[in-house]
A and B are shown apart, each in its own frame.
Chain A
């Protein structure tokens, strides 16, 4: 088990009477890319803001690099960078001047060559004023600001929000480069395929509570298995009506099932109808995510 870069212990935030997050316990290991998933209002941004000491917890505590986020915030923030979900920039400032200012506030040791490379890779012209940028270009400025100092930890709130697919891909490559350097990334996203492609582990938050933390691999394995069985003789409609099994559809001679438990029983029922083919398509993170929220891909409950 690696060293935990981020730890939260019963972290709770209430906004007056309204719940922000409740008893969130999570640990992010050094060198991993941790995806933080949840719908709007679930508590992702609140958690990240507590880590950055932008807001104070109502109870519980959070540590980064073993230091308390509230008491030793300055020392922590020297070693990390943060991309807020609602990125707002000074409209009359040029991107270059803004990046210079952030670099000097950090510690001034930014590698300008690397910064230029980032601008190039993201196709950003940093000589213009912020107010001249589209939303996507503003987001690129935020991405450059987050990556340019090569911090030990990046906390990114929806880093690809507003970016076109090509630039999203570049950002994911940057995340992978950070991981390859042995540095840590904690990021939230709504784009589940990108989480699946770069994250080692994910935490799923719902209604302010962390309901699951697991590796992407184990999540996709443990959630449920999808079985597509092709038969010589089609079984009756209620053949697979049993606990832990859901028949999701039929297509010609094929029956599509989601199996949470009782795989042996399913096969036992299926064999007499002469199975011609068995497929088990991979379950995507998106399906697992929606499964946690009791919804299907097409939006039904």
Chain B
């Protein structure tokens, strides 16, 4: 069983390094150029569009929170969705899952080993790009005259705080991968939910009367405002995200247990033998 975990983790080492470095470079690009345009950024202070997206580009801390802390996890989230759906639904589509299921393993073991391996891979990506972003900020801080009231460690902590969001996204995607008939249908629905969740968070931030909608957006449970550097994340909200991940992981176990591999059916089409 441990070998399935090893295979799942080690077969992704290139992707882990690639995503980690890629996101660090994104971070370097945006953080690195800020000092050159610092005096022009105040012009964005009252732009409604950025307010809609929950962005504050007028201060360096706000800019970092808006671009690095908010955007990087959104980009990584897409990768998390692809990983989670790909590990079961994707392998089923490509035909490799049939051999794994034919091994003497309980289905819950297959789901659990793949989940643990991929959550470790996602954590490694976050550790790499968190460290990369913090390093970039340290270099920028040391080489610019622009006032920066955020430390590299605060940035690192803020970025890693998005991990529970990744866990929640992973759980929901994993479940859809076992519930929907194919990878494509699971991916389509999950991307729709992902965009809707982000949209709900943005709109409810902007319109006071829709504030209650925030409850339904996973993004609202992660602090991406400038306050994240001083106050950190709300631990209670992060626990909610972990709980969402755990609940959907449980649903994925249940759904995968009854799934007819290679067939691509909806759950209600899966006849369970009562004999």
Footprint of B on A, CB under 8 Å?
A: 13-16, 49, 52-61, 70, 74-78, 82, 84, 86-90, 92-93, 100-102, 104-107, 145
Residues of A within 8 A of B272 (CB): 56
Evaluate contact between A58 and B3: CB separation under 8 angstroms: no
- Given A56-B271, A59-B275, A61-B275, verify A105-B101 contact (CB < 8 Å): no
Residues of B within 8 A of A87 (CB): 95, 99
Select which of B3, B96, B102, B269 is within 8 A of A77 by beta carbon: B102
The stretch that binds A, out of B37-45, B79-87, B237-245, B256-264, is: B256-264
A290 to chain B, nearest CB (A): 29
Residue of A nearest to B94 (CB): A88
Contacts between chains A and B (CB distance < 8 A), count: 95
B272 to chain A, nearest CB (A): 6
- Asked if B4 is an interface residue, CB under 8 A from chain A, the answer is yes
A46 to chain B, nearest CB (A): 9
- Expressed in whole angstroms, the Cα–Cα distance for A14 and B270 within the complex equals 9
* Chain B positions 94 through 125: 1 when the CB is less than 8 Å from some CB of chain A, otherwise 0: 11101111111110000000000000000000
Evaluate contact between B270 and A56: CB separation under 8 angstroms: yes
Evaluate contact between B261 and A55: CB separation under 8 angstroms: yes
Closest 7 CB pairs of A and B: A88-B95, A58-B271, A55-B260, A77-B104, A104-B3, A105-B103, A78-B104
Evaluate contact between A52 and B102: CB separation under 8 angstroms: yes
Footprint of A on B, CB under 8 Å?
A: 1-4, 7, 11, 94-96, 98-106, 258, 260-263, 265, 269-275
- Expressed in whole angstroms, the Cα–Cα distance for A101 and B2 within the complex equals 10
Residues of A within 8 A of B95 (CB): 84, 86-88
Select which of A57, A78, A88 is within 8 A of B96 by beta carbon: A88
Residues of A within 8 A of B3 (CB): 100-101, 104-105
Evaluate contact between B103 and A106: CB separation under 8 angstroms: yes
- Expressed in whole angstroms, the Cα–Cα distance for A101 and B100 within the complex equals 10
- Given A16-B265, A93-B11, verify A53-B101 contact (CB < 8 Å): yes
Residue of B nearest to A84 (CB): B98
Residue of A nearest to B268 (CB): A16
- Expressed in whole angstroms, the Cα–Cα distance for A14 and B271 within the complex equals 8
Q: A55-B262, A60-B273 are in contact. List 11 more A-B contacts (CB 8 A).
A: A13-B271, A15-B269, A52-B102, A60-B275, A74-B106, A77-B103, A78-B104, A87-B95, A88-B95, A93-B7, A105-B105
Residues of A within 8 A of B94 (CB): 88
Residues of A within 8 A of B273 (CB): 56-61, 70
A186 to chain B, nearest CB (A): 14
- Expressed in whole angstroms, the Cα–Cα distance for A59 and B271 within the complex equals 8
Residues of A within 8 A of B270 (CB): 56
B180 to chain A, nearest CB (A): 15
8 contacts between A and B (CB under 8 A): A15-B263, A15-B265, A52-B102, A56-B260, A74-B104, A77-B102, A84-B95, A87-B95
Residues of B within 8 A of A107 (CB): 104
